[in-house]
Amino acid sequence: MPTIHDVAKKAGVAPITVSRVINNSGYVSEKVRNRVNQAVDELGYVPNILARSLKSKRTNTIALVFTDITNPFFNFMARGVEDSASDAGYNVIFCNTDESSDQESKYVKLLLQKQVDGILLVPADTRSNSIQLIQDQKTPLVVIDRCVSNKNVDIVRGDSEGGAYLLTKHLIDLGHRRITLFSGPEAVSTSQDRVKGYKRAMENHGLSKFVDCYYGKFSRQSGIDLTKSIFSKENSPKPTAIFAANNLISVGILAELRNLGIKVPQDVAVCSFDGIPENLTVIPFLTNVAQPAYKMGQKATEILISRIKEKPEPSTDFEEIIFPVELTIRESSGGKIG
């Protein structure tokens, strides 16, 4: 492949002149410019940005390290990230960790070696050591979706606690007492926060003794398993409402309840943190509080890129942006029959 030297030779100029033409920087006469452009076309020259990056220490590439692109919430978040990054001239490397800290740190190490300009991280663990790795390299970092013990990071997340409170209160207002929560992995802050919000709502309404919650996974299967186990217990009172800590869990719950012949919302009310993507729903049915996943991705990327730009003088005051959630009441909770 031709290099800047080949173009220079062909156009009868110095490489730096070609560089100036390509980058539209500095002064180049019309005449020379044309000659260079012609040489570029004839040779089919494509600049090697790697070489530029080696000098400039900028790759214009960022990375999104998260759990799973297949999860609708992260899926839309990822799209927000890519759109925002692309607008600003950055490419995005996607990395799926499946909630594994090992995977996460493997990815992070490689990304740092690749000199990505910044990293968006959904940490698998509250005390993710990846954060330290990234900060040691002075690589800009924005944590998305979750809290971490290290407070010296920018964070963009949804209001898990508040959302869980809202949803639980909605069920309580409908007259439910025995409300069971199926949460996600115990090590994940969103799981914990949703439990907190749920408990707070129960306690505030004198329902402490009905608190009943379980950690599991953020998956459909987890919803199925937990539902099975709850409804197969002999001699124990059954919940009249179930609160799923994410959308995949709620799908599992609904599927398994149907399987067991238990009617929603007549026999059990169901509601969920985060809903089913609109472009995949025929009949909106699920009462839920939803986080603006796409916007969260956008916002996090904007912050990251601004950090990248101010890099020589890194700021020391970090932002924690908490997006409000939105409650949508539908048939599944029996709150409104639509």
Partner DNA sequence: CTGTTAGCGCTTTCAA
Partner DNA sequence: TTGAAAGCGCTAACAG
Site for its own copies in 93-122 (CB under 8 A): 93-96, 107, 109-115
Which one of the spans 55-63, 65-73, 96-104, 197-205 is the region binding DNA (CB under 7 A)?
Answer: 55-63
Sign of CA dihedral 311, 153, 134, 77: negative
Q: Which of 19, 96, 139, 287 binds DNA (CB under 7 A)?
A: 19
Select 39 or 202, whichever has its Cβ closest to its own copies: 39
336 binds its own copies (CB under 8 A): no
61 binds, among DNA, its own copies, none (CB under 5 to 8 A by kind): its own copies
Q: How many residues bind its own copies (CB under 8 A)?
A: 57
Site pattern 124..143 for its own copies (x: CB under 8 A): ------------xxx-----
43 binds DNA (CB under 7 A): no
Residue count of the chain: 338
Give CA separation, 220 vs 106, 248, 255, in Å: 27, 5, 9
Site for DNA in 129-188 (CB under 7 A): none
Site pattern 247..286 for its own copies (x: CB under 8 A): xx--x--xx--x-----------------xxxxxxxx---
Select 130 or 219, whichever has its Cβ closest to its own copies: 219
Select 45 or 215, whichever has its Cβ closest to its own copies: 45
Judge whether 74 and 300 are in contact, CB under 8 Å.
no
27 binds DNA (CB under 7 A): yes
92 binds its own copies (CB under 8 A): yes
Which one of the spans 55-63, 160-168, 202-210, 318-326 is the region binding its own copies (CB under 8 A)?
Answer: 55-63
68 binds, among its own copies, DNA, none (CB under 5 to 8 A by kind): its own copies
14 binds DNA (CB under 7 A): yes
Q: Which of 61, 183, 192, 246 binds its own copies (CB under 8 A)?
A: 61
Sign of CA dihedral 202, 273, 83, 121: positive
Q: Tokens at residue 214, please?
A: 């379980």
Report the C-alpha gap between 219 and 98 in whole angstroms: 11
28 binds DNA (CB under 7 A): yes
CB of 275 to its own copies, least distance (A): 11
Question: Which residues sit at the interface with DNA, rule CB under 7 A?
Answer: 1, 3-5, 12-17, 19-20, 22-23, 25-29, 31-33, 47-48, 51-52, 54-57
Question: Which residues sit at the interface with its own copies, rule CB under 8 A?
Answer: 1, 44, 46-51, 53-54, 59, 61, 63, 68-70, 72, 75-76, 78-79, 82-83, 86, 91-96, 107, 109-115, 136-138, 219-220, 247-248, 251, 254-255, 258, 276-283
